[in-house]
Structure 1
Amino acid sequence: MLDVLGLKVPIIQAPMAGVSTPALAAAVSNAGGLGSIGVGATDAAGAKAMISDLRTRTNRAFNVNVFVHGPATADAQREAAWLEWLAPLFVEFGAEPPKTLRTIYKSFADDEEMLAMLIEDVPPVVSFHFGVPSPEAISALKAGGTVLLATATNLEEAEKLADAGIDMIVAQGIEAGGHRGVFDPTAPDDQLGTFALTRLLVRKTKLPVIAAGGIMDGAGIAAALILGASAAQLGTAFVACPESAADEAYRAALLGPGAHRTRLTSVISGRPARALANRFTDLHASLTDRLPPDYPIAYDAGKALHAVAKARNEHGFGAQWAGQGAPLARAMPAADLIATLVQELEAGMRAPNGNP
């Protein structure tokens, strides 16, 4: 499958929405890996523009990631209670909370325009997060020659992906930064680590497996490959690259002592996601039995709070996605990072303890 993707090295850059850019994806692809853009936070026109930009920067394979979450159920009472809970923070920054909340992102499962655009544009790779689309969508994309990847956090999800005709499985461990790819956020989460999950899926499924979560250097990639993974997906490792869209506060937090603390919380968006610990993630401790609105309705409130706080020079309410390997982040151009990872990978394969 790596030959199908045209990779020179088994490294995939995770499509972290809000961080990944066409420039970053192109730099990774041009260096021999698989660059990715996340389009879950835009519409078909915005996604088409990103893909067009990316194509001007590289002639190599790249990945376009979409979110396939279940439909958000509006609940006026729960949303009003959520805004009331956050109201003191808005007041702290001289603002009022929104009067109502919106479903700000459309799921790929319900986005006919996005599907039509991808069928017409035929990106080399499309990946799915939060679930799997309809059989018709999968058939149409595969008919054009697009390779399909999808995230699984346990064996049951992986088996559903295999049955649906997905080509490769991204095994997302609990260490991973950004949104956890669970299909049903209300169901119990096995919280499997990356290497346990990778080995499980390698043993129990017939599809190539991509290890994701907490992998930051070549030794980690080597460990994943030794466990049977076909490739490793890294997200947090690329946040500090100059080509990413991370702002200065995000970069400073990632490269500072705060990187040693990440939190998995649904407070920011309404779905479990891992981020650098900050004032926003600290709210998780006071959730008690309070339920946030459904994703992405809760994210509308989170983005509004971040905007008013940032306007007052408070950056502690940003969605600073990061995995547990965050302290190992390095700030360098993406091409240099790929080259460094390859050198470390080769050393790691010679000396599997990661200390050649």
Structure 2
Amino acid sequence: MSSGYGRAPFVTSRRRLTAKATKERIVNSRLTQTIGLDYPIIQAPMAGTSTSALAAAVSNAGALGSIAIGAVDAEEARRQIQATRALTARPFNVNVFCHATAAPDPAGDQAWINRLRPLFAPFDAQPPEQLRDIYPSFLDDDAQLAVLLDERPAVVSFHFGLPRPKQIAALKAAGILLLATATSPAEGQAVQGAGIDMVVAQGWEAGGHRGVFDPADDLMFATLPLTRLLTSRLTIPVIAAGGIMDGAGIVAAMTLGAAGAQMGTAFVPCPESAADAAYRRALEGQEAQRTRVSAVLSGRPARGMENAFMRQAEPDAIAAYPRAYDIGKALNTAAKAAGDDGYAAQWAGQGAPLSRIMPADQLVRTLADEIDRAASIFRSDETNRAVGSNVGKNHPPRQAAP
């Protein structure tokens, strides 16, 4: 009996030490050390939802806040960067879109207009006569590059692909840390080969637009397998993204080698986000239980809460991104004017039912506490297994009773 009790202080001490070591390894990850963060958390850049107030609150709380400028012109991009900087002295991320500019296709555009025309009729509205490229790609936007080089945010990230080599070289020469999204091992290799500093492993579970380079070749990797594949093959840090909503999810990803996690849907309910009342109600309701990936809203696959637009629009022969988004936004404007929110882009990941309503700084602190608890549980379980495996090694096995 005494020998059994005598082992307890050692086991307890070992648990405390291993839990502390796990916490330190997570807090002092390559992500936190490189950027100067307190926690290995990135608030995802969400065009139309992220705000300077949200990004600053996250950064001030010790994580990495983000704004998205892919849907605005250079002048507005500068204003948003400066507005964020006025609210925080901590690092923050600025995201741009690197999609390949679609070739003109008047016939295809007109076919998509005609296909959606019946959806406008209940709202006494007409679709646009022609579709516009409402979001220029960063690949062709010298003005956006000039703003980034002038303002020099700590971090710039890329979605839908990679920038041109000369753009990468210019940003790195300006001392800016670069991140890029990858949805497959091949894309991850391309990100590392291009000289990008870190890769965001976006799983199929993630809300918002898929960062896939070529939507026609989307292999739909889930977050955890993709994270493990990239951490085992790449030398640059990997940030897991997709379906991660709490500290346990962050620890799970980091157990597979991730340097941190990027979270979008978790921050949508924060009062600092630009989500409207309908979006917030949907996240709180049954709508959050049903998310799906669809390209009908914008022309590129994106995961959001299922709505009337996704159900009614035929998914074939969709106009190219971002021209499809032009008519999608027009339809939503007409529907909202009539009091119908069923055509809005309410992007959300598969973890949406786990979302919580609280200020951004409180959410970061909550996630940090959950990381501590999850890390302690993980290491305690591991210690139990290790101690259990040693029991009896120095003693002969008991003889079976006759």
TM-score by length of 2: 0.86
Question: Take 1:354 and 1:275, find their aligned partners in 2: how far apart are those partners?
Answer: 37
Residue matched to 1:338: 364
Residue matched to 2:304: 275
Question: Take 2:357 and 2:380, find their aligned partners in 1: how far apart are those partners?
Answer: 21
Residue matched to 2:384: none
By how many angstroms is 1:73 displaced? 1.8
Map 1:46-195 → 2, pairs under 5 A = 46-187=76-217, 189-195=218-224
Question: Take 1:105 and 1:332, find their aligned partners in 2: how far apart are those partners?
Answer: 32
Identity %: 57
Residue matched to 1:313: 339
Deviations 1:86-130 (A, max 9, x none): 111111101111111100000000000000111111110000001
Residue matched to 2:395: none
Deviations 1:307-347 (A, max 9, x none): 00000000010000000000000010000111111111111
Q: Are residues 1:265 and 2:276 paired?
A: no
Question: Take 1:283 and 1:72, find their aligned partners in 2: how far apart are those partners?
Answer: 25
Residue matched to 2:250: 221
Query: SS in structure 2 opposite 1:215?
Result: coil
Q: Are residues 1:243 and 2:272 paired?
A: yes
Q: Are residues 1:324 and 2:354 paired?
A: no
Query: SS in structure 2 opposite 1:186?
Result: helix
Question: Take 1:149 and 1:132, find their aligned partners in 2: how far apart are those partners?
Answer: 10
Query: SS in structure 1 opposite 2:121?
Result: helix
Deviations 1:131-172 (A, max 9, x none): 111111111111111000000000111111111100000000
Query: SS in structure 1 opposite 2:345?
Result: coil
Work out the number of aligned pairs and report it: 351
The one-letter code matched in structure 2 to 1:263 is: R
Question: Take 2:53 and 2:379, find their aligned partners in 1: how far apart are those partners?
Answer: 34
Confirm or deny: 8 A CA contact 1:348 1:354 kept in the other structure.
no
Question: Take 1:263 and 1:190, find their aligned partners in 2: how far apart are those partners?
Answer: 16
By how many angstroms is 1:354 displaced? 12
Unaligned runs of 5+ in 1: none
By how many angstroms is 1:80 displaced? 1.0
Question: Take 1:291 and 1:67, find their aligned partners in 2: how far apart are those partners?
Answer: 23
Deviates more, 1:119-128 or 1:69-78: 69-78
Q: Are residues 1:33 and 2:85 paired?
A: no
Query: SS in structure 2 opposite 1:86?
Result: helix
Deviates more, 1:30-39 or 1:130-139: 130-139
Query: SS in structure 1 opposite 2:362?
Result: helix
By how many angstroms is 1:353 displaced? 10
1:195–1:354 Cα change, 3 Å: farther
Query: SS in structure 1 opposite 2:156?
Result: strand
Q: Are residues 1:4 and 2:34 paired?
A: yes
Confirm or deny: 8 A CA contact 1:172 1:194 kept in the other structure.
yes
Deviations 1:270-318 (A, max 9, x none): 000000011112135x43xx21111000000000000000000000100
Residue matched to 1:23: 53
Query: SS in structure 2 opposite 1:295?
Result: coil
Question: Take 1:138 and 1:307, find their aligned partners in 2: how far apart are those partners?
Answer: 37
Q: Are residues 1:292 and 2:318 paired?
A: yes
Query: SS in structure 2 opposite 1:351?
Result: helix
Deviates more, 1:231-240 or 1:80-89: 80-89
Unaligned runs of 5+ in 2: 1-29, 382-402
